[in-house]
Amino acid sequence: MTRTSQNSKLYCVDRGEGTPVLLVHGFPLDHTMWNHQIDALASRYRVLAPDLRGFGRSPMFGGDRATMAELADDLVGLLDARGVNDPVVLCGLSMGGYIALQFWQNHAKRLRALVLCDTRAAADSSDVAAGRRVAADRVLREGVGSLVEGMTPRVFGASTQRLRPERIEPLRRVMLSSDPHAVAAAQRGMADRPDMRSRLGEIRCPALIVVGREDVSSPPAEMRTVADAIPGARYVEAPEAGHLSPWENPEAFNRALLEFLATV
């Protein structure tokens, strides 16, 4: 556990040596969604895979809303506390990608390269944002069960559901054990996140965009527009994967990530 400021602590896997690669999980997950990447990278890179506030083994702190900018600040606090002074390769999935874009906006000097996985640069529509706020209140009243049951068929790709269903249960269990306060705070923070589409052209660091070909939450067509808007960005689709491409097709994902890391 790393104390990042007086009132906050974050759990973080910290393995290997070399260029730091910071892996930021999606919602409502924890660092274990990166297990295949941690194993593949740690012999060549310093891999940091935290649990965001209230998720996994990290205690909850802060108020009832965790903005994406605050979660990015948490990451800077973590890097400072762990003595990571070199700019990092920041790899974020979905909510982790929303946080990565805020990290870029507010802490660009700490960034060596950006990997955006199964995420969006657009803000929520007002309907989606309102739905998140309702869902946040419900989770606090009733627990995370119904939210997770509703999400599971949407986040895993059709191929995973049909051919590799055993890949679903470990992450479903992680989701079901999430702290309702963390889930509600993250939902409210995501509902309020800014639209970053008009800023993508300002990104100057190397960037890789990866999306599962069967992702219905942040579909390939939308992620391609993100890649097209970032100067020089690479774009890769992982076959037979949905919204959780690093977990569903680690072979394809790791190949793309390692090839990209060799260039930055």
Residues that bind ligand MLT (CB under 6 A): 26-27, 94-95, 190, 217, 243
Closer of 94 and 249 to ligand MLT (Cβ): 94
d(C-alpha 9, C-alpha 54), whole Å: 10
Least distance to ligand MLT, CB of residue 238, Å: 15
Give the angle subtended at the CA of 245 by the CAs of 145 and 109, to the nearest 5°. 100
Contact 20, 45 (CB under 8 A): yes
Least distance to ligand MLT, CB of residue 98, Å: 7
Dihedral of alpha carbons 214, 218, 223, 224, sign: positive
Strand boundaries in 51-169, DSSP class E: 88-93, 111-117
Least distance to ligand MLT, CB of residue 243, Å: 6
Closer of 107 and 120 to ligand MLT (Cβ): 120
Closer of 84 and 214 to ligand MLT (Cβ): 214
Closer of 32 and 94 to ligand MLT (Cβ): 94
Closer of 137 and 259 to ligand MLT (Cβ): 137
Contact 52, 78 (CB under 8 A): no
Closer of 27 and 260 to ligand MLT (Cβ): 27
Least distance to ligand MLT, CB of residue 155, Å: 6
Host H or E run for residue 215: none
Closer of 50 and 206 to ligand MLT (Cβ): 50
Least distance to ligand MLT, CB of residue 29, Å: 7
Least distance to ligand MLT, CB of residue 96, Å: 7
Closer of 46 and 193 to ligand MLT (Cβ): 193
Least distance to ligand MLT, CB of residue 93, Å: 6
The candidate with the shortest Cα–Cα distance to 26, out of 222, 199, 248, is 248
Least distance to ligand MLT, CB of residue 99, Å: 10
What's the Cα-to-Cα distance from 54 to each of 65, 74, 141, 185, 217, rounded to whole Å? Answer: 12, 12, 17, 9, 24
Q: Count the alpha carbons within 13 Å of 183 in the hemisphere toward its beta carbon.
A: 25
Cα-trace Rg, the chain: 17
Rounded (10°) angle between helices 126-142 and 180-191:
170
What's the Cα-to-Cα distance from 41 to each of 73, 183, 219, rounded to whole Å? Answer: 25, 29, 26
Q: 3-class DSSP state for residue 243?
A: coil
